[in-house]
Chain A
Amino acid sequence: MPAPFLEIKELHKDFGGLTATNSVSFDMGRQEMVGLIGPNGAGKTTLVRLINGILKPDRGKVRFKGKEITGKKAYDIVNLGIASTFQNMRPFRRLPIIANVMVSCLSPRAMKRGEWVKKVEAKAMDALEFAGISDMALEKASTLSQGDLKRLEVARAVATDPELLILDEPFGGLSPAETELMAKSVARLHKGGRFGRLHSEGPAMIIIEHKLQQLMKIVDRIIVLNFGTIIADGTPQQVVEIPEVIEAYLGEGGV
């Protein structure tokens, strides 16, 4: 049996006395699109930060395509094919938007040797076009609105040409119309066939989101976290009927 695409085993992280993730384990396939939900402070962001290497776990393992990546440097993990966005956007504010994305395009994974600057620019423009902000490519990032900053974050992650894309609240701060657009383009990205290659596979995705309605439409599996433990794992239809999930979201005696 081949190794699972992403395998998370007993991942544990404490912050002082607070347990952020408590022995979380799950597997994920190459074609999957997973929604990660849970109330505030449930450990969602911590979990993805343990995967993408910004935080180091106290215990447990992360395997990506059968290779152990626990404790590797964040940039090595990106170059293995796991890209992620920040929940609170961190653009390079004094650089033009195109330069923000070009930094990602200059990572060893995205760069093929011997490419000229123009080509890197073209690649960055492609990512910006996907995110829908290519018309503002020369503006400074500090002039962008919240929604456009979200798009910039997504463009930056996409530009590294990932196999697993982790989006931390991609719809946060977007208007309903913008959310709709973003959800559509994320779903299209998952299907694949971009970056000038017609038959490329889209990346697998983990999406953290609070806007459940939109999330339910695009993902095919949802994992619910509460107090650092997984309390539900299944298709969107299954998950919303589990009593613990309803309780975690609406409080005791809710509905």
Chain B
Amino acid sequence: MGLVSAYFRRGWTILRSEVLVLPSRLAVLLFIIALMAVPLFTQDYYILRILILTCIFAIFAASWDLLSGFTGQMNFGHALFFGVAAYVTALLNLDLGFPPYLSIPLGAVGGVLAGLVVGIPCLRLRGSYLALTTLAFPIILTGLVFAMPDITGGELGLSGLSRLTGSRVMDYYLCSSLVVILGFAMWKITDSKTGIILHAIREDEVAVRSSGINTIRYKLLAFCMSGFFAGIAGGLYAHFMRLAGPSTLEVSLSFQVIIWSVFGGMVSIYGPIAGVFILNPLMEVLRVALGNFPSLPEIRMFIFAGLVLVTLLFMPEGLIPWVRDKLENECPRCKLRNVFIRQRCRVCDTSLS
């Protein structure tokens, strides 16, 4: 009994000293709790469906940030990884009868291979040239999909995949816990030694090379990791929608992910995730709220675009970094973050004003 309470006290100390001291960490904790608690309040099919799709797109957006935000390899064709994984998952499930827990990871492996296929020709490209080249890949693959309707189902795509899990609530728990786990994994990657090198490649590739780092290997690694996480999102999407169609390769999906990430704040894994969780449900809310104005069917796109423009005008770094800078100050001495109400740094006791 004493042991249990000792562990409990230890856990509480860690929670208080590491998590509760910063609003951003508290916000992450509250977000995870809220995400897990949603089915307790509503089990409405429609709401859960929106949230599941939001979770899937959040993984997708974070994987884009890993490649384009951190490593600086501007990818305008990120839907390729999503689509390849969706198709691979669908083919494995339909033709070979693999269950979701096998077909989704194997689909993600398909995403990794797609990352290699895109990454190798793009190694020498930079900036806008890289962006244009990556943009071409999903378009090429769409053409191939249409050219081989026997395998890929053509315009209709592959439908009739088995369900993700037995019930909608279980689907929801699977996707929401994956968003937390994979988001944490991606954040941990960017926080590691590899992450430092990826950061440095974005800043100046020649200087990294003359520091003795094989940049080719790290760039390919970034493409593969990004393809893997995007692939998991694609596989989840295919199994959840029970459909893998050409819409998963659309250019609009590639740009959607950029809008989400830039809105939420690039070069931070949590930024794109938050961006998706704000913008995607907002679109659905607007759809319901504006349902009374059938004369203006697409006004919600107009509102959406205006919102994104205004946000980026006033918060050029994105929404989440802006909010975080309002709530937290950086200690000038030890560079640790503190709540804005504190007068002195919580670690080194330097005056913050």
Which residues of A are in contact with B by a Cβ distance under 8 Å? 52, 54, 73-75, 78-79, 83-84, 86, 90-96, 99-100, 102-104, 106-110, 117, 120, 138-139, 156, 159-160
Q: Is the CB of A103 within 8 A of B197?
A: yes
Question: When the two chains form the complex, which single residue of B200, B209, B215 contacts A92, counting CB atoms closer than 8 Å?
Answer: B200
Q: Is the CB of A90 within 8 A of B199?
A: no
Given contacts A86-B210, A92-B207, A93-B203, contact A106 B193 (CB under 8 A): yes
Given contacts A79-B212, A107-B212, A138-B335, contact A90 B207 (CB under 8 A): yes
Given contacts A52-B210, A106-B213, contact A95 B335 (CB under 8 A): no
Tell me the minimal C-beta distance from B123 to chain A in angstroms. Answer: 12
Q: Is the CB of A103 within 8 A of B208?
A: yes
Q: Is the CB of B207 within 8 A of A86?
A: yes
Given A92-B200, A92-B207, A106-B193, 8 additional A-B pairs, CB 8 A: A52-B210, A78-B210, A95-B199, A96-B335, A103-B196, A103-B200, A104-B211, A139-B335
Chain B residue nearest in CB terms to A107: B212
Given contacts A92-B200, A120-B193, contact A103 B335 (CB under 8 A): no
Chain B residue nearest in CB terms to A110: B212
Interface bin, chain B: 20 to 34
Q: Which residues of the partner chain B approach A52 to less than 8 Å between Cβ atoms?
A: 210
Tell me the minimal C-beta distance from A80 to chain B in angstroms. Answer: 9
* Chain B interface SS verdict (over half): helix
Given contacts A92-B203, A103-B200, contact A117 B193 (CB under 8 A): yes
Q: B307 near A: Cβ within 8 Å?
A: no
Chain B residue nearest in CB terms to A102: B196
Complex Cα spacing A159 to B199, Å: 18
Given contacts A103-B208, A117-B193, contact A75 B203 (CB under 8 A): no
Q: B305 near A: Cβ within 8 Å?
A: no
Tell me the minimal C-beta distance from A113 to chain B in angstroms. Answer: 13
Q: Is the CB of B215 within 8 A of A95?
A: no
Q: Which residues of the partner chain A approach B209 to less than 8 Å between Cβ atoms?
A: 73-75
Q: Which residues of the partner chain B approach A90 to less than 8 Å between Cβ atoms?
A: 204, 206-207
Q: Which residues of the partner chain A approach B200 to less than 8 Å between Cβ atoms?
A: 92, 95, 99-100, 103
* Centre residue among B200, B210, B215 by max chain A CB count within 10 A: B210
Q: Is the CB of A92 within 8 A of B335?
A: no
Q: Which residues of the partner chain B approach A79 to less than 8 Å between Cβ atoms?
A: 212
Residues of chain B in range 166-201 having any CB-CB distance to chain A below 8 Å: 192-193, 196-197, 199-200
Chain A residue nearest in CB terms to B199: A95
Tell me the minimal C-beta distance from A123 to chain B in angstroms. Answer: 12
Q: Is the CB of A78 within 8 A of B211?
A: yes
A–B pairs, 8, beta carbons within 8 Å: A75-B211, A75-B212, A75-B213, A91-B207, A92-B204, A100-B200, A103-B196, A106-B213
State the 4 A-B residue pairs at the shortest beta-carbon distance, nearest first: A107-B212, A78-B212, A92-B203, A90-B207
Q: Is the CB of A160 within 8 A of B206?
A: no
Q: Is the CB of A92 within 8 A of B199?
A: yes
Tell me the minimal C-beta distance from A101 to chain B in angstroms. Answer: 9
Question: When the two chains form the complex, which single residue of B192, B215, B334 contacts A75, counting CB atoms closer than 8 Å?
Answer: B215
Question: When the two chains form the complex, which single residue of A91, A107, A138 contacts B334, counting CB atoms closer than 8 Å?
Answer: A138
Chain B residue nearest in CB terms to A78: B212
Q: B353 near A: Cβ within 8 Å?
A: no
Q: Which residues of the partner chain B approach A91 to less than 8 Å between Cβ atoms?
A: 203-204, 207
Q: Which residues of the partner chain A approach B17 to less than 8 Å between Cβ atoms?
A: none
Complex Cα spacing A100 to B208, Å: 9
Q: Is the CB of B206 within 8 A of A156?
A: no
Chain A residue nearest in CB terms to B193: A106
Complex Cα spacing A94 to B214, Å: 21
Q: Is the CB of B196 within 8 A of A108?
A: no
Tell me the minimal C-beta distance from B79 to chain A in angstroms. Answer: 28
Q: Is the CB of B203 within 8 A of A74?
A: no
Q: Is the CB of A106 within 8 A of B197?
A: yes
Tell me the minimal C-beta distance from A153 to chain B in angstroms. Answer: 9
Complex Cα spacing A110 to B193, Å: 13
Complex Cα spacing A214 to B335, Å: 37
Complex Cα spacing A159 to B211, Å: 9
Q: Is the CB of A95 within 8 A of B212?
A: no
